Structure 1
């Protein structure tokens, strides 16, 4: 069975727990979802080596505490750790190794520490590595971690995923959402949760409805919203459908942003990253 403590970690670093300061307001937790776009030479000018520096500059400027990524290859994850000191990541690929796409979870190890972690597949047999159901062609999975904030000991779970992409996979995406919802209930119980992902469908979908029965869409819940609504742009910069979501439970959402920054019309990925500033309820 593939479950807890089964992910191969890269760059994990220990951190020392410090007591929270008395009567200080709870610090914000800044979470991001970012489809990094796999490193494929046919992207030409947008091939990973040509945009890696811009990608890392985008992350650095946003200053998140934690990031759920999609389409990540190990070479990109390792480059992130080399370029941005203070970060660590974990994950295996959708086939159980390191040669394919990962749902890599990145976090600032000076701000957060990992208590537990695991993964499951979006299928009728979630604990079977690389399992596929419902007619879509590729394994789809979720990677999760239980994190503790070093500043005050507050804990939360992050789940990160990537749903099937074809137009004819809408029913499969709904089934995938059901698996995610069931596993969040089983793993996180009633505790605080952040769900990041490329869901390959919009907020008007049944998949979104399934997930928002228990989770809040951070864009809709935020006190302030910045940036375009759409997230996929195909390296063109024109926002299309909002397929990248950040959903939460147990948090107040102070700010939500879709980051469409570019340099001379060049973008770090074919998706805009989305970011939310969160504060624990209670």
Structure 2
């Protein structure tokens, strides 16, 4: 049997990658607002590395190049709630007082309030939730770490790796008085076991809310596909997931090689007007992040708990 040359094999592999990328590329345009729905967005914004060289895409210079695209994309989504992950500026040492992306976004988007945020020594700043102040009133907020000591700030994860956590905020709709708890998460991309244990902790923490009949939405970077065991734990806990169309992670190159890993889940009492969509925009040829934002339109109080 003739053995294919390395060049032919490389070309074949490239064609396969491009074909898969094309199949997964179908995200969708920004959908128009649905009547009465809350437009909920999740987006991993990627960390800023304060000490990185300027040619690093995640350096301060890199952020200055992509922040305009980030603002434009988020503005075009016309969201009521934006759950952001990796919104942190890293530097050597433990000082978390600098957060360039948070400050720049809040300055550029004055109609939004800032929830799930506070003094970094008391409230982790990496996963804020932005909300439309003319639509929503903030009632409460909090956090818990994916750890054996979840109520100790900056606890390391179950296997001792870097701290990871859930932030949450409770809102009331100024239009009709309905309330919604939003949980913003970022699960471990390396350790599947960490993801499973984190999902179990999330399930335990939201259980009292669901038992009380609260409306709950979970948004974030799960680093897990819709048919994964991680998602199964969350849906078994009482949440529902409709996977976004197409990929949500693109390697900062527009490569769409697998389904969405960024998701918006919701309780059965909350309706979903249409399938969520990963919105692919590259203003001025600049990717805002290595993730696309995922938009879902939710209607708390209009779900059907008789169907799972």
Shorter-chain-normalised TM-score: which range?
A: 0.7 to 0.9
Alignment of 1:187-206 (within 5 A): 187=209, 189-206=212-229
Q: 1:244 aligns with which of 257, 262, 266?
A: 262
Cα deviation digits, residues 13-42 of structure 1 (max 9, x gap): xxxxxxxxxxxx971110010101112345
Cα deviation digits, residues 149-171 of structure 1 (max 9, x gap): 111111010000111121xx101
Q: 1:51 aligns with which of 66, 69, 82?
A: 66
Of 200-209 and 112-121, the range deviating more from structure 2: 200-209
* Match in the other structure for 2:279: 259
Q: How far did 1:233 drift?
A: 0.8
Alpha-carbon distance in 2 for matches of 1:26, 1:83: 27
Which structure 2 residue ranges, 5 or more long, are not aligned? 1-33, 89-98, 303-308
Answer yes or no: is 1:164 the counterpart of 2:188: yes
- The 8 Å contact of residues 116 and 147 in structure 1, kept in 2 or not, is answered as yes
Answer yes or no: is 1:135 the counterpart of 2:159: yes
Alpha-carbon distance in 1 for matches of 2:126, 2:284: 29
* Match in the other structure for 2:111: 86
Q: 2:80 aligns with which of 38, 61, 65?
A: 65
> Computing the radius of gyration over CA atoms, which structure comes out larger, 1 or 2?
2
* DSSP-derived class of the 2:101 partner: helix
Alpha-carbon distance in 2 for matches of 1:179, 1:72: 23
Answer yes or no: is 1:183 the counterpart of 2:205: yes
Alpha-carbon distance in 1 for matches of 2:179, 2:242: 19
Alpha-carbon distance in 1 for matches of 2:246, 2:76: 20
Q: How far did 1:264 drift?
A: 4.7
Q: How far did 1:277 drift?
A: 1.0
* Match in the other structure for 1:75: 100
* DSSP-derived class of the 2:208 partner: helix
Answer yes or no: is 1:274 the counterpart of 2:274: no
- The 8 Å contact of residues 94 and 140 in structure 1, kept in 2 or not, is answered as no
* DSSP-derived class of the 1:44 partner: coil
Q: How far did 1:254 drift?
A: 1.1
Alpha-carbon distance in 1 for matches of 2:288, 2:118: 22
* DSSP-derived class of the 1:146 partner: strand
Of 269-278 and 35-44, the range deviating more from structure 2: 35-44
Cα deviation digits, residues 217-261 of structure 1 (max 9, x gap): 133xxxxx7xx5211112101223421111111221113211111
Runs of 4+ more than 2 Å apart: 40-46, 90-98, 186-190, 263-266
Which structure 1 residue ranges, 5 or more long, are not aligned? 1-24, 220-224
User: What is the TM-score when the length of structure 2 is the normalising length?
Assistant: 0.74
Q: Per the alignment, do residues 233 and 97 of structure 1 end up closer, same or farther by CA in structure 2, a change over 3 Å counting?
A: farther
Alpha-carbon distance in 2 for matches of 1:133, 1:263: 36
Q: How far did 1:139 drift?
A: 0.6
* Match in the other structure for 2:235: 212
Answer yes or no: is 1:33 the counterpart of 2:58: no
Answer yes or no: is 1:148 the counterpart of 2:172: yes
User: What is the TM-score when the length of structure 1 is the normalising length?
Assistant: 0.81
Alpha-carbon distance in 2 for matches of 1:111, 1:141: 27
Q: How many equivalent pairs are there?
A: 248
